[in-house]
Amino acid sequence: MHAFMRQVSVTYRCAMLYREKQLAETGLAGCQTPYLVALYRMPGISQEELARYLNVNKSSVARQLASLEKKGYVRREASPCDRRIQLVFPTQKAEDIKDRLFEVLFGWSEYLTADFSPEEKQQLLSMMRRVADRAEAYVKGGCDACEPSENT
């Protein structure tokens, strides 16, 4: 299965390069787009919840949010319930690029699957969803029986 993980990794790295190129005028790094997508869906989410949602560590979230805040795409404010909790919101600047951002994200998916039939696209999505669900279960500790073997 090493070949499978290599293909996933190559696809991910190419996606980051594609996003950066397509969004060059925004100053966004390819790896910052998932943060904005999450904030569009859940404005006011805490940094900790964002880390869990994106399956990244808290220090990465803090670093990316600091960069996005400096670029004017997000704002953080203390929670009214607990001043230690930082809530994160997209700014108007982020809202202004929302359509373009989703156009880029969907465009990449369409580019990658352009030669696939509708059935193949659905099958690929279904299988990748199962792979992602299993990966998340492992990371979140919800799968005692899914320890990776040394052969993978």
Say if CB 37 and CB 101 are below 8 A apart. Answer: yes
Q: What is the pTM of this model?
A: 0.86
Say if CB 68 and CB 74 are below 8 A apart. Answer: yes
Q: Percent of the chain having pLDDT more than 90?
A: 86
Can you point out the beta strands (E) in the chain?
45-46, 74-78, 86-90
Distances (CA, A) of 28 to 23, 32, 111, 152: 6, 6, 21, 34
* pLDDT for the residue numbered 140: 84
From 68, 67, 61, 64, select the one nearest 85 (Cα to Cα).
Answer: 61
Q: For the segment 23-56, what is each residue's pLDDT rounded down to a tens digit?
A: 999 999 999 999 999 999 999 999 999 999 999 9
Work out the pLDDT band at 146, boundaries 50, 70, 90. low
CATH class of the domain at 2-139: mainly alpha
Other C-beta atoms lying within 10 Å of the C-beta of residue 137: 14
Structural tokens at position 48: 């900790």
Q: How far from the centroid of its chain's Cα atoms is residue 111's Cα? A: 19
On the question of pLDDT at 150 being above 60, the answer is no
* pLDDT for the residue numbered 45: 97
* pLDDT for the residue numbered 141: 84
Task: Identify how many contiguous H helices and E strands the chain contains and give both numbers.
Answer: 7, 3
* pLDDT for the residue numbered 145: 54
Q: How far apart are CA 134 and CA 140, in angstroms?
A: 10
Positive or negative: CA dihedral 46, 103, 29, 34: positive
